[in-house]
A and B are shown apart, each in its own frame.
Chain A
Amino acid sequence: MAEKNIRLEVVTPDKIVVDEEARIVMAPGSLGEFGVLVGHTPFLTTLKIGAMHYQDAQGKERWIFINGGFAEALPDKVTILTESAERRKDIDMARAQAALDRAQKRLAEEGKKADVDFLRAKAALERALYRLKLAQTRGSGH
């Protein structure tokens, strides 16, 4: 194939989740989803909590949950720095469901106070929701 691949790295404090060649990388930037192909202009952005996906060298679609962070795109490489990330197949649904319940309970208790705990619970809720949403797409086509 004439088209060249771009190197994708997803790095968390615990481990390197992904380090492989990709045809295209799509990630949820804070100003909207963006795609990166090889030869991209140097680019740096913050990321939202959500799902990113890429096509691996075989053209297979791969999905990863990312917990915010940063993405740096260079012509030959994309680096995603995030505090946690899981491949779709590695998402622990039971754990995410538990986190969701916990966050909902806490939000109900906290009421409308917009303090730190509230924000934290909201972020936890968001994470859990995205994890579950992504995990539920398992086995559907790609």
Chain B
Amino acid sequence: MAKLKDIKRKISAVKKTKQITKAMNMVAASRLRGAQSAMESFRPYASKFGEVLGSLARRAGEEAGSSLLTPREEVKKIHLILCTSDRGLCGGFNANLIAKAVSFIEQKRKQHIDVSLTSFGKKGRDWCRKIGLPTVKAHVGIVGSRFGFNVASASGHELIDGFLKGEYDEVHIIFAEFISMARQTPHTKQLLPIPPLVIAEELKEAKGSAYLAEHICEPSADEVLGEMLPRSIYVQLYSALLETSTSEHAARMAAMDNATKACNDMMGSLTLAYNKARQAAITAELMDIVGGAEALKG
């Protein structure tokens, strides 16, 4: 009898877990919609910005010589921005991002380059503390919730400041690229100095080769470019944060979906075990009665 009760208790426990995972799945789904729409609404700004920046950069050419563009001759210190989520229960999401960070840091250490960190998200911060990496700054409560462009511009400003002061020679960012609902991959990108590749890419996107060629620029093309370059960092930072947020919710949704399915499977097999045990108990009881009756007869 005790066994039956045990199984029953287990079934109800799994049932409750399932309710929780299902609820989390739905919450993640609605947050995902929010994050996705934020990504959507950022797109017009980002694409227009890239278009203008690309053609302007080509026009102003390399002689613009902004210090944000020129690579340092000797790279000794690198600053890494690690975007993770604040909360767990989202499958391998944070583990993947952190693994990427680990391999990045190891690779740089082999080249005798120091790495310092800024982390967005609690999980990344906790990891840094655990392995004893110095974090310059930890931003908590941004990834996964609603945030504005000012978040990106404020921390982007600090990054540029540190870069110009020579606190570090390069800035890289690790974030989760949102590829599809089922696929989010950790991605490393160089923010500073602004790689020429970025500009080349944006050039390709800019429609028409003569575009902007004859623009009058005020104050001057170089000055406008000088205003735009720091903003391009904010734009990239903001989009990385948006992607990480969206990816977090998508990852959590998938993880919770799997958990709910696992709960269903478990409930099925537990119910089967329960029914078998119940049947066995009934059979045993019946045997007892039949045995007793036989004994009386005899």
Contact = CB atoms under 8 A, between A and B. Distances in A.
B212 A44 contact: yes
Contact of A70 (B216, B221, B224): B224
A30 B44 CA distance: 24
A93 interface: no
Contacts, number: 72
Contacts of A30: 218-219
Interface of B: 38, 41-42, 44-46, 48-49, 52, 56, 148-150, 153, 157, 161, 212, 214-219, 221, 223-224, 227-228, 235, 238
A14 B37 CA distance: 10
Given A14-B149, A81-B49, A83-B150, A46 B42 contact: no
Nearest to A16: B44
B59 to A, nearest CB: 10
Nearest to B149: A13
Interface of A: 11-16, 29-31, 41-46, 70, 72, 79, 81, 83-84, 116
Given A13-B42, A15-B41, A70-B227, A43 B238 contact: no
The majority secondary structure among interface residues of chain B is: helix
A41 to B, nearest CB: 6
A31 B227 CA distance: 14
A31 B219 contact: yes
A131 to B, nearest CB: 15
A116 to B, nearest CB: 7
A27 to B, nearest CB: 11
B41 A14 contact: yes
Contact of B52 (A13, A16, A72): A72
Nearest to A14: B41
Nearest to A31: B218
B259 to A, nearest CB: 34
Task: Give me the 5 closest cross-chain CB pairs, A-B, nearest first.
Answer: A45-B218, A13-B149, A42-B215, A44-B215, A44-B217
Nearest to A12: B45
